[in-house]
Structure 1
């Protein structure tokens, strides 16, 4: 559906439509689509049109948290040009999802709290007009699926996921945010209140960061404990990940 550009272009002057050919992807895979533009009553000068991926992330402040839209991949589509009445313009694009893209689906379930979308940006005099945001599904990579299933095998129940602005200490990654997938407590690990998993992937493998919230005991206060595992995509099928996760959890608890 065409949407009217607002702001610097003036109402009812130009319209844009984005159609996705691939409504879903896995990290590292492309999302393809086409952007169409048209105008009605007068020419419009456009500096450029681009497609980008965005996600909504939590940013911490001294007085609480706020939600911000974070762009993390961008592909120019066309421009500069003059859009003339009666002469619509269209251009195809291909956005490669970064390996660290937050996932929104695992094992056929939506990860509530995480969303990823394609957003069209049109650069005109007076600034950007963001338009026509289209959500996409990002499915878990096979190794991510295996690791999450291993956590569930140990009795932790998947709750939700969110994206946080910031960096993970001592783990290399390129995006200015990271996803946390949260699980509720397991009866097999009574000293743990909850568990969070973060994936930081690259073309060859991924770091799996596990953070647990330990309950306060008689002579020990409650605290967070973190561990990290490096997974090699080429050899991950040769590893008993249920056993590996179990060993790490027993050590952390």
Structure 2
């Protein structure tokens, strides 16, 4: 347990805060629970509010090139409106809903290279002060895990994952960024595409899966991608033949690319339910590929700004809490 003293708002001798999250990982749309532990300083203070910020490390492309920064993508007020006495200890429990669009940070316990955090803010003495900053681990929903596992079973390899600032057209996505998982196509698809990018758009009712193919093998540029999207329900996670389903999606993506070339328009939609031949039940699963591919992902920050609220203390994401 590491308490971080609130120095900026009321000076030395003020209260300190420690936030403890429950459990190892949560899922998109699930409940993030824990406790905010406050310890009074040398004098009593009025605690106006206790807030939690959800942050994400995001990449952005702009005229000057690429940069990275931290973006606040959700805020919650979990307490406040009380007097904290000198040396008093107070436990404030909380349970807040994660946005359905929250990125996935791990698969089968293996990190994907996505960095999320929970920052605690305490309002005291008429000012705000940030205290604890804790890593947030998000595991996939059952349907997301089924898709990722099928991709691995079909022979696709994990290359990398990141968060891109911006939105995908034609969707109701609320967050200012989206997650991309870059995959190496299985040999059976390599004649048509050299890279596949996967994006999940989760909602309370189901999952929209966006697949993007590129023949060039380099970074995608707008207007030169082939995209298809497919929808599944959460309840289908344990009922569909996912290898056949995902194989059909990739084949449809390849067909779409061949029909429209590199300038195919976004919006080609498909829906689950059809079964496909040649399920290709081979390969170790994407979990094994992630274990090998994600191990070398650097978690350091390149630096830079994005066109959203940027958090100055992004280094805390990687250096841990300070006493």
Band the TM-score falls in, shorter-chain normalisation: 0.7 to 0.9
Cα distance, 1:133 vs structure 2: 1.2
1:219 maps to: none
The answer to whether the Cα contact below 8 Å between 1:53 and 1:72 also exists between their aligned partners in 2 is yes
- Contact persistence 2:142–2:234 (CA under 8 A): no
SS of structure 2 residue aligned to 1:120: strand
Q: How does 1:232-251 map to 2 (within 5 A)?
A: 232-251=233-252
Greater shift in the superposed pair: 54-63 or 5-14: 5-14
* Bigger proportion of residues as strand: 1
Secondary structure, counterpart of 1:139 in structure 2:
coil
> How many angstroms apart in 2 are the aligned matches of 1:65 and 1:129?
30
Considering only aligned residues, what root-mean-square deviation do their CA atoms show, in Å? 2.2
SS of the residue aligned with 1:228? strand
Structure 1 portions without partners, runs of 5+: 217-221
Q: TM-score when scaled to structure 2?
A: 0.70
SS in 1 for 2:225: strand
Of 48-57 and 74-83, more deviation after overlay is shown by 74-83
Counterpart of 1:149 in structure 2 is: 149
**Superposed, which structure 2 residues align to 1:1-253 within 5 Å?**
1-112=2-113, 114-124=114-124, 127-190=127-190, 191-215=192-216, 223-253=224-254
Q: 1:28-72, CA deviations, whole angstroms, 9 ceiling, x for partnerless residues?
A: 221211111123223334321112322211122211222222223
TM-score, normalized by length of structure 1? 0.88
Give unpaired runs (5+ residues) of structure 2.
218-222, 255-323
Decide whether the 8 Å contact of 1:199 with 1:209 is kept in 2.
yes
Contact preservation (8 Å) 1:52, 1:75: yes
Shift of residue 26, structure 1, vs aligned partner: 1.2
Q: How many residues align?
A: 247
Q: Which has the higher contact order (CA 8 A, sep 6+)?
A: 2
